[in-house]
Homo-oligomer: A and B are copies of this chain.
């Protein structure tokens, strides 16, 4: 016979766990010395201990382990149990995979935003823009009221989205109240549905500026970009684009760190 400490070393189960299993009736010592309460285990019970360990490795809950060891005596009878248990574990894996997928997305997004935030410091850039397929809604109203349009676009075409959302401004000048705006998201594929147009947004040469900060102060950035164009006698087209590279996040909205690209296509 072994004392609890010896039995613990033999089986690899902690003393605390052995006492707990005794309490639960899962692994009862062969003898308990009355006055002292010392537990003594015989070598024959080692098999049961090993069985418990094996089932624990398969993440079977203790209660089920108890039932299994007491009601069955052959592994074949456990087939249906194992199959069921396996599907359950598989669904846990699926859940976790969903979580890693979300985390990956957030991580990638933040990484991008960070490099963008570090590289460009308010410098105007000339670049070539590819033609994009977009899903869009055209509406009139105030700048910054694109929320409803955006959520409509994402609920209809979100699964095909392949880039950052943007607003296209059709007015020549700043309009506070009744601006002519097209809110759009780039998509991989799709066709128009009632209320939403799918179309190509032509590419070409453009000047662009990344602005960091709250939307209220974006006027400065427009100033910088129009000045740049005027100085170099570049003609730009309407609509101009305002691309939301980084807006309010899932968790925080911190306008100081918003990144917005202003893009003027050149004629």
Contact = CB atoms under 8 A, between A and B. Distances in A.
A34 interface: no
Given A47-B253, A55-B251, A252-B51, A97 B93 contact: yes
A113 interface: yes
Interface centre among A58, A68, A104 (most CB of B within 10 A): A58
**Chain A interface mostly helix, strand, loop or mixed?**
helix
Interface in A95-117: 96-97, 99-100, 102-104, 106-107, 110-111, 113-114, 117
A206 to B, nearest CB: 27
Contact of A250 (B51, B251, B252, B256): B51
A217 interface: no
A89 B82 contact: no
- Shortest 6 CB-CB contacts between residues of A and residues of B: A75-B249, A86-B103, A74-B254, A51-B251, A54-B250, A93-B96
Interface of A: 47, 51, 54-55, 57-59, 68-69, 72-76, 78-79, 82-83, 85-86, 89-90, 92-93, 96-97, 99-100, 102-104, 106-107, 110-111, 113-114, 117, 249-254, 256-257
